[in-house]
Chain A
Amino acid sequence: MPLPLYYFLAITAVNVLMAWALYLPYRVGHLHFITVANMAISGYSAAWLVMSLHVPFGWALLAGFALGGIVGYIVSLFIGDAPTFAVVIVGFTFIYITRTVIENLNAVGGTMGMFGLPNIGGNPVAHRWIILAILYGLLLLVGFLIHRFDHSQLGRAASAVFVDKDLAASLGVDIRKLGMQLQTFSCTIAGGCGVLYGFIYRSFHLDFFTFALVGIAMTIIFVGGYATMWGSLILAPILYGVPLLFPPAIQSWRIVIYGGLLILVLVLKPEGFLTRRFVYSLESFLSGIRKKRKTQ
């Protein structure tokens, strides 16, 4: 496989997963930026396990998922039903705290970072295929789970919470429990993504986990459509991939292009390119075709 294609596919998968990690808590109105801190915590921890304790990568990856989930769960105990603004503040604060802790931990390279992470599978080609297999397996699994969630009673409850918390509570929705579940799940995804992100580059540096990642995920969600999971899936490769095809002279303008696109979408299509109504119509259309085929 050509190397640029590998990096494009791998990074796109991480971006989709991270966009979904933001999308899920946003279903109840939470902008949960702690996911970026989770990436760093789990990523560095897994790298330390592999490099210092020689733990096999598979176990380190599982530990990364688990650590992400545990951190997410503990934090969600306090902000499971907090207002959006409070969740945003907690997320930003957590990113700062995480950076400071890692900066001062010599075991994980401090401000220098971690170098020379091993190839999974023993050689670079096997490494790349394994990383892609895990990432796209994860993408399918998480996508399936989110799709099921969106079409479940819980998903409808989340929609009610997004529109009006009081109304949702009067309908019997446990807002705190739902918020905690979504936050924990999104942090678990982010933890695993952090491990895989570092192993794509085979190194870790604190500046891999900055607010720029928040920006990327936010742009993907809000341009793609924050009301369905499909917007992120379609927009991540486009937003990330198209600028790579630009000639160098235009590449320098890509931030302006992103910004302009975001403003345009917010003004003209506040729900993003893919709205829930559009997805429902498409689903009805497709199920209509299926029914027709069955009756024929």
Chain B
Amino acid sequence: MKKTLGVFLMAAMLLAFVGCQQPAPKEWTVPFLNSLTGRIASIGEYLEWGAERAAKEINDAGGIKGKPIKVVGVDTALDPQKGSVEMARLVKDTLVALGPVPEPVIMAAMPIAVENGMMSITATTSLEYANKFFPWTVSWFPSTEERLAPLVAAWAKQFPEMKQVVQFVEPYGPWPGMADAHVKGLEGLGLKVLDKVEVPTNAVTFGPLVVKALNEKPDGMVFVCNATATAKLIKELKSRGWKKMDHLLVFSSGDAPELYATGGKDINGVEIYNYINPNLDNPRWNAFKDAYAAAHGGNQPPSLSTNYYDAVYMIKEAIEKTGVTGSPSKLKAERKLIADYLQNVKGFHGIMFDWDMKDGVPTNKPTFIFQIQDSKKVLVQEVKG
């Protein structure tokens, strides 16, 4: 009798223990702290589109470990106040998140993710912002100076007669640092970098800025400002007789739809550098391009549109390779597993190319210089850091 009672009690305790274990959720939910309203809502839209596209592809192929993945957009509206409250909500039970976007929200919200040991992939900011929050995020870009100096030097080498270069610089977040990296590359070639022309963020008239730059008698110009301002500056330059269009270089953040929409034919011949090459020909990228065009009135995918697409696939790989279950009772340990895995991913199959991460920093991502022709980018050269 006693033996039966003992077995019964043990079975009851086991059942109670099993009952206490919270079951793993039926789907992988990945919140995406994004600016879906406000000044950069158009960027937020295509970032979100890329992430959702990846989720759809993954789900169509059977999900992650048989469970679907769902990307949930959380609007921070470019507001640090809202970003911090939303992040504070997420860290309670989220396994891994995407974002935040952009820098002011990252700075307000990421300390919360770090404090609570939750990985949140900030795939649109520079290493100099992301590395403050390692190991709870990764950088999508290598060190600004290491990568941009040789890139701009490669552009300048095309034109041996070029002796003096001026930069238009908008004082926003990492952009002045990018301009400094350009200076290193240009001065390394023995070129003279003239006094920069500062482009106010809310500038409405660009004539005086162009006149100021032309007065310095440059042979080439580099644009480190937002896409609309860049297009307007180039139009002003052209209207004042500037002919050497390939002696104008636009930095990667200027590679946005506004550049082409505002610049039109006036930016033909201008060179631009970026981390992705839209001319690549592989089935995945081609399908992405077609789907993007279908959803966006025939437009080509902007340069950042693949970042969160790849980030979702990276999360998939981390879950599959680390044996993460998604069980709430293992949340802390599994968050750490994902973070550790993402810091040093090897041979990650991105939509455009494979790359490795070392301690949260990509080590072998290529960079490209293009020439703009009728709103399309024609590859000039690939530059390795």
Contacts and interface: CB of A to CB of B under 8 A. Distances in A.
A201 B107 contact: yes
A6 B81 CA distance: 12
A205 B103 contact: yes
B75 A7 contact: no
Contacts of B36: 252
Interface stretch (A26-34, A107-115, A179-187, A278-286): A107-115
A8 B85 contact: yes
Most buried by A among B78, B104, B112: B104
Contacts of A276: none
B17 to A, nearest CB: 28
Contacts of A240: 81
Contacts of B80: 201, 205, 207-208
B81 A11 contact: yes
> Which residue among A111, A113, A206, A255 has the maximum number of chain B CB atoms within 10 Å of its CB?
A111
A58 to B, nearest CB: 21
A3 interface: yes
Interface in B4-21: none
A203 B88 contact: no
B91 A3 contact: yes
Q: How large is the interface on B (under 10, 10 to 19, 20 to 34, 35 or more residues)?
A: 35 or more
A4 interface: yes
B356 interface: no
Interface string B91-132: 110000000000110011001100110000000000011001
B37 A255 contact: yes
Interface string B150-177: 0000000000000000000001111111
B305 interface: no
A103 B89 CA distance: 32
B338 interface: no
Given A4-B89, A124-B115, A115 B107 contact: yes
B77 interface: yes
B104 A205 contact: yes
B137 interface: no
A103 to B, nearest CB: 4
A216 B81 CA distance: 11
Given A6-B88, A11-B81, A113 B103 contact: yes
B73 interface: yes
A104 B196 CA distance: 13
B81 A3 contact: no
Nearest to A119: B115
B104 A208 contact: yes
A171 interface: no
A203 B37 contact: no
A244 interface: yes
A246 B322 CA distance: 36
A112 B38 CA distance: 21
A252 B112 CA distance: 23
A112 B115 CA distance: 21
Report which residue of B80, B91, B92 has the largest number of chain A beta carbons within 10 angstroms of its beta carbon. Answer: B80
Contacts of A111: 171-177
Interface in A225-252: 240, 244, 248, 251-252
Contacts of B92: 2-3
Contacts of B352: none
B345 to A, nearest CB: 25
Contact of B73 (A8, A100, A103, A248): A248
B72 interface: yes
Contact of A255 (B77, B85, B171, B174): B77
A252 B104 contact: no
Nearest to B201: A99
Nearest to A255: B37
B79 A201 contact: no
Q: Which of A7, A110, A202, A254 has the most CB of B within 10 A?
A: A7
A3 B84 CA distance: 10
B276 interface: no
B149 interface: no
Contacts of A207: 78, 80, 103-104
Contacts of B75: 248, 251-252
B30 interface: no
Given A3-B91, A111-B175, A113-B103, A202 B111 contact: yes
B187 to A, nearest CB: 19
Interface string A83-122: 0000000000000000010011000001111011000000
9 contacts: A3-B89, A3-B116, A104-B171, A110-B176, A203-B108, A204-B107, A205-B107, A252-B75, A255-B38
Sorted nearest first, the 6 A-B pairs with minimum C-beta distance are: A207-B104, A3-B88, A203-B107, A201-B108, A4-B88, A103-B171
Given A112-B174, A208-B104, 11 more contacts: A3-B112, A4-B89, A7-B85, A110-B171, A111-B175, A113-B173, A207-B78, A207-B80, A207-B103, A248-B72, A254-B37
